[in-house]
């Protein structure tokens, strides 16, 4: 079975992000980058699926040349191949353009199963996975926390706000991965050495213009200063009043 | 725990290859997730977390530059240096455990051992199925190992060893000891397996430094060893000193890890801690301390990186390693002391890492050639005049 896991390079979680001068995106100077957390789950599940059911895993990313480090990391963990659709503006692409570009490459790979994170931790859209499934006309199961495959059939548990939903589906399918699905493995040093010289091709693609235009990016409003209602036991009533009548939380 | 943010003031990260950065990230995340949550507890208890040995082996940090055919990872020396840096960011005891296994046990077996010794021990040591230690220092001979009293005498069946070694990292938990002894007028290396009659390794207790590391005495009383226990390629003091050059190279990197941990902790503390209505970091005295430390750490990083590139080109000399070990350990110790001070009363609590690193570095500045002995090694190199005695 051909499996594709899609990853996105995003600013590290501890990065202090700044809005760019044109207010249309982020100032990327000096940012450090990592693979989006949920995409790590996606690659891990792809590798586990391969280990259980056979096949091979290709890690696919739309991103800059520097993404080769992220892709190589997954080769060291057990993925078989990596492809970079070279794009220095990957972070400014809308979900539709990203999905269309990835979709073309997934079709070319002849994949039957595609894994992505439930969202990328930079823009939090959560749209690319379902869009790819729609474009391909495949089953789409989002927010997956458990997955079983059996031949051309699969069943998955989805985490929703109301509870856990168990669904059955037929391959080909797109799966988006939620925290709890697995614990990603760590590469070891021998694994890193084994893939040190492995070629990670950079490919070009047919450009897809953004449909959605970002008008303005603003940092969240600064939090209002707190208020000390009093000290010690005497302040309890005032605190309860404030929580009940001002904040409305109790 | 707040994520560690390594100081990289002059973008040295760009100088590492992709695989070197992967090695760094891999070991860094292991130390953060697996080691650091246990560090305080083991330091207090005076124990090494032995349960982590299989994970360290799986990671591949034992003998990282040993060729793959003997079970090593076959990394270059810069990647190996980054491993030591990250391990010592955890604790000097952790780095010591790994340095001894690789630089002081696997290295002499690989360099001076017979093919049979290499085939027997290196895969076991690389996979953590065997632990090793290195016995050179004696109670009365530290800086002057040439004076050692431990002897190996030939008899009809092989060798008989007698003597005592001291301050031996991992001695008590080792399956094999590389013991250096005077044999027929020359210092030679011997492989002494655990359980050999007459050989014992009691633990040295009551340390205030390297508490999360096992330190031992090695006692050898009429220890009979077969003929093939000798490392055939060893001969003279230059053999153990070659091992120490390996380990000292690792220390030049490792000490930076401890310095980074302290600096990161003090920087973040001083930005968060409010005194006289503003953060500590906003005052001039803390800023001077931070600026001085950041500069020293950055210079130390440059030295370590350059030494690593030279080592990969086979151009590194022991005198260069002396400078790296001496400079980087002292800068780390001074960084730890200043950071301890900047943390105020919290600096004496093991809830913070800095005090632990500060205590550990008192060992690191002393072992593997004291600061003063390395001063004399550099002096010797510069003047051609040995001033050791």
pTM of the model: 0.90
Cα torsion angle, B37, B43, B45, B46, sign: positive
This complex has an ipTM of: 0.85
Record: contact B59-A186, CB cut-off 8 A: yes
Asked whether residue B7 is domain-assigned, the answer is no
pLDDT score, position A25: 87
Record: contact A68-B68, CB cut-off 8 A: no
Say yes or no: A188 contacts chain B, CB-CB below 8 A: yes
pLDDT score, position B72: 86
Whether the pLDDT of residue A29 is over 90: the answer is: no
CATH number of the CATH domain containing B105: 1.10.540.10
H helices of chain B, in order, are 18-30, 36-45, 53-59, 77-90, 92-99, 107-112, 115-126, 238-272, 284-312, 318-342, 354-364, 371-383
Per-residue pLDDT reduced to its tens digit, B290-342: 999 999 999 999 999 999 999 999 999 999 999 999 999 999 999 999 999 99
Query: Does B213 share its domain with B251?
Result: no
Say yes or no: A53 contacts chain B, CB-CB below 8 A: no
Query: Does B242 share its domain with B371?
Result: yes
Record: contact A69-B60, CB cut-off 8 A: no
Query: Does B164 share its domain with B298?
Result: no
Say yes or no: A187 contacts chain B, CB-CB below 8 A: yes
Identify the CA nearest to A87 among candidates A166, A13, A8, A147: A8
Query: Does B190 share its domain with B222?
Result: yes
Residue A95's region, left for phi above 0, alpha for psi from -120 to 50, else beta, is: alpha
Which residues of chain B have a Cβ shorter than 8 Å from any chain A Cβ? Answer: 3, 5, 18-19, 21-23, 25-26, 29-30, 58-61, 64, 68, 73-75, 79, 83
Assign A145 to helix, strand or coil: strand
Asked whether residue B25 is domain-assigned, the answer is yes
A 119-178 residues inside an 8 A Cβ radius of B: none
Identify the CA nearest to A249 among candidates A231, A240, A234, A238: A240
Per-residue pLDDT reduced to its tens digit, B205-233: 999 999 999 999 999 999 999 999 999 99
pLDDT score, position B1: 60
Record: contact B61-A196, CB cut-off 8 A: no
The answer for residues whose C-beta is within 8 angstroms of residue A234's C-beta and 6 or more apart is: none
Query: Does B344 share its domain with B246?
Result: yes
Instruction: Report, as an integer, the average pLDDT of A209-214.
Output: 94
Q: How far is residue A51 from each of residues A7, A56, A79, A180, A188, measured CA to CA in Å?
A: 20, 9, 10, 19, 18
Asked whether residue B5 is domain-assigned, the answer is no
Q: How far is A88 from chain B (nearest CA, A)?
A: 18
Contacts of B74 in chain A (CB under 8 A): 190, 193
Query: Does B270 share its domain with B353?
Result: yes
Domain boundary among B108, B126, B144: B126
Per-residue pLDDT reduced to its tens digit, B127-151: 999 999 999 999 999 999 999 999 9
Query: Does B254 share its domain with B347?
Result: yes
Element holding A159 (H helix, E strand)? strand A153-159
A166 forms beta bridges with A157
Asked whether residue B62 is domain-assigned, the answer is yes
Q: Which listed residue (B33, B351, B368, B381) is catalytic?
A: B368
Whether the pLDDT of residue B52 is over 90: the answer is: yes
Identify the CA nearest to B279 among candidates B270, B288, B287: B270
Q: How far is residue B287 from each of residues A115, A228, B212, B290, measured CA to CA in Å?
A: 48, 32, 32, 5
Domain boundary among B186, B204, B229: B229
Q: How far apart are CA A219 and CA A94, in angstroms?
A: 19
List the domains of chain A with CATH numbers: 2-203 (3.40.50.620), 224-250 (no CATH)
Q: How far apart are CA B20 and CA B13, in angstroms?
A: 10
Query: Does B122 share its domain with B154?
Result: no
**Nearest residue of B to residue A68, measured between CA atoms:** B18
The answer for residues whose C-beta is within 8 angstroms of residue B215's C-beta and 6 or more apart is: B167, B168, B169, B171, B203, B204, B207
Query: Does B347 share its domain with B291?
Result: yes
Asked whether residue B41 is domain-assigned, the answer is yes
Query: Tokens 């692409």 label which residue?
Result: A93
CATH number of the CATH domain containing B367: 1.20.140.10
Domain span including residue B152: 132-229
Say yes or no: A18 contacts chain B, CB-CB below 8 A: no
Instruction: Report, as an integer, the average pLDDT of B163-170.
Output: 97
Assign A17 to helix, strand or coil: coil
Per-residue pLDDT reduced to its tens digit, B7-45: 999 999 999 999 999 999 999 999 999 999 999 999 999
CATH number of the CATH domain containing B137: 2.40.110.10
Record: contact B60-A196, CB cut-off 8 A: no
Q: How far is B73 from chain A (nearest CA, A)?
A: 5
Record: contact B22-A72, CB cut-off 8 A: yes
Number of structural domains (chain B) is 3
Per-residue pLDDT reduced to its tens digit, A132-166: 999 999 999 999 999 999 999 999 999 988 899 99
Q: How far apart are CA A86 and CA A67, in angstroms?
A: 9
H helices of A127-235, in order, are 128-136, 189-194
Per-residue pLDDT reduced to its tens digit, A219-249: 888 888 888 888 889 899 999 999 999 888 8
Say yes or no: A227 contacts chain B, CB-CB below 8 A: no
Assign A62 to helix, strand or coil: strand
Asked whether residue B191 is domain-assigned, the answer is yes
Element holding A33 (H helix, E strand)? strand A33-35
B368 part of the active site:
yes
Record: contact A189-B5, CB cut-off 8 A: no
Query: Does B34 share its domain with B155?
Result: no
Q: What percent of chain B has pLDDT over 90?
A: 96
What are the structure tokens assigned to B300, written together? 């130390």
Q: What are phi and psi of A230, to 5 degrees?
A: 160, -170
Identify the CA nearest to B341 among candidates B270, B292, B276, B252: B270
Determine the angle formed by the axes of helices A95-109 and A128-136, rounding to 10 degrees. Answer: 50
Say yes or no: A224 contacts chain B, CB-CB below 8 A: no
């Amino acid at each position: 079975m051909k499996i594709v896991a899609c990853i996105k390079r995003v600013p590290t979680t501890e990065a202090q992000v700044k809005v760019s001068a044109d207010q249309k995106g982020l100032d990327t100077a000096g940012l450090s980058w990592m693979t989006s957390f949920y995409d790590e789950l996606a690659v891990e599940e792809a590798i586990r699926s391969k280990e259980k059911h056979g096949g091979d895993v290709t890690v696919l990313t739309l991103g800059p040349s520097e993404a080769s480090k992220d892709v190589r990391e997954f080769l060291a963990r057990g993925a078989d191949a990596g492809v970079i659709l070279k794009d220095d503006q990957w972070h400014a692409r809308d979900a539709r353009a990203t999905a269309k570009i990835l979709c073309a490459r997934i079709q070319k790979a002849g994949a039957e199963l595609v894994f992505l994170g439930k969202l990328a931790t930079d823009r939090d859209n959560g749209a690319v996975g379902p869009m790819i499934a729609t474009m391909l006309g495949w089953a789409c199961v989002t927010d997956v926390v458990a997955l079983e495959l059996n031949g051309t059939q699969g069943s998955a548990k989805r985490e929703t706000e109301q509870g856990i939903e168990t669904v059955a589906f037929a391959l080909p399918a797109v799966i988006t991965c939620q925290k709890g699905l697995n614990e990603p493995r760590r590469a070891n040093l021998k694994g890193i050495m084994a893939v040190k010289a492995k070629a990670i091709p950079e490919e070009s693609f047919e450009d897809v213009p953004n449909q959605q235009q970002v008008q303005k990016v603003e940092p969240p409003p600064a939090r209002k200063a707190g208020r000390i209602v009093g000290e010690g036991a005497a302040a309890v009533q005032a605190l309860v009043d404030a929580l009940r009548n001002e904040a409305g939380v109790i | 725990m707040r994520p560690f943010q390594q100081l990289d003031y002059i973008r040295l990260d760009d100088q590492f290859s992709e695989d070197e950065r992967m090695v760094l990230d891999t070991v860094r995340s292991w130390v953060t997730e697996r080691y650091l949550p246990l560090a305080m507890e083991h330091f207090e208890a005076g124990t090494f977390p032995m349960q982590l040995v299989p994970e360290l082996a799986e990671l591949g940090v034992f003998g990282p530059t040993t060729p793959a055919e003997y079970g090593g990872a076959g990394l270059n020396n810069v990647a190996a240096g980054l491993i030591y840096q990250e391990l010592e960011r955890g604790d000097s005891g952790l780095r010591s455990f790994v340095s001894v296994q690789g630089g002081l046990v696997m290295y002499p077996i690989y360099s001076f051992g017979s093919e049979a010794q290499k085939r027997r021990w290196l895969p076991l040591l690389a996979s953590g199925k065997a632990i090793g230690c290195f016995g050179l220092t004696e109670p009365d001979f530290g800086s002057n190992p040439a004076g050692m009293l431990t002897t190996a005498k030939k008899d009809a069946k092989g060798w008989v060893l007698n003597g005592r070694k001291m301050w031996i990292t991992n001695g008590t938990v080792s399956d094999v000891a590389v013991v250096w002894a005077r044999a027929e007028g020359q210092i030679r290396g011997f492989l002494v397996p655990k359980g050999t009659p007459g050989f014992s390794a009691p633990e040295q207790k009551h340390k205030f430094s390297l508490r999360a590391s096992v330190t031992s005495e090695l006692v050898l009383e009429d220890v009979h060893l077969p003929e093939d226990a000798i490392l055939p390629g060893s001969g003279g003091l230059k053999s153990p000193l070659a091992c120490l050059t390996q380990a000292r190279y690792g220390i030049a990197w490792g000490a930076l890890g401890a310095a980074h941990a302290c600096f990161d902790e003090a920087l973040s503390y001083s930005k968060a801690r409010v005194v006289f209505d503003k953060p500590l970091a906003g005052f001039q005295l803390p800023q001077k301390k931070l600026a001085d430390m950041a500069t020293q750490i950055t210079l130390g990083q440059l030295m370590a990186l350059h030494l690593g590139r030279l080592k990969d080109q086979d151009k590194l000399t022991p005198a260069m390693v002396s400078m790296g070990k001496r400079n980087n350990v002292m800068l780390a110790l001074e960084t730890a002391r200043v950071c301890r001070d900047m943390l105020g009363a919290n600096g004496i609590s093991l809830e913070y890492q800095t005090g632990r690193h500060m205590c550990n570095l008192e060992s690191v500045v002393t072992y593997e050639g004291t600061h003063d002995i390395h001063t004399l090694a550099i002096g010797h190199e510069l003047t051609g005049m040995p001033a050791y005695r």
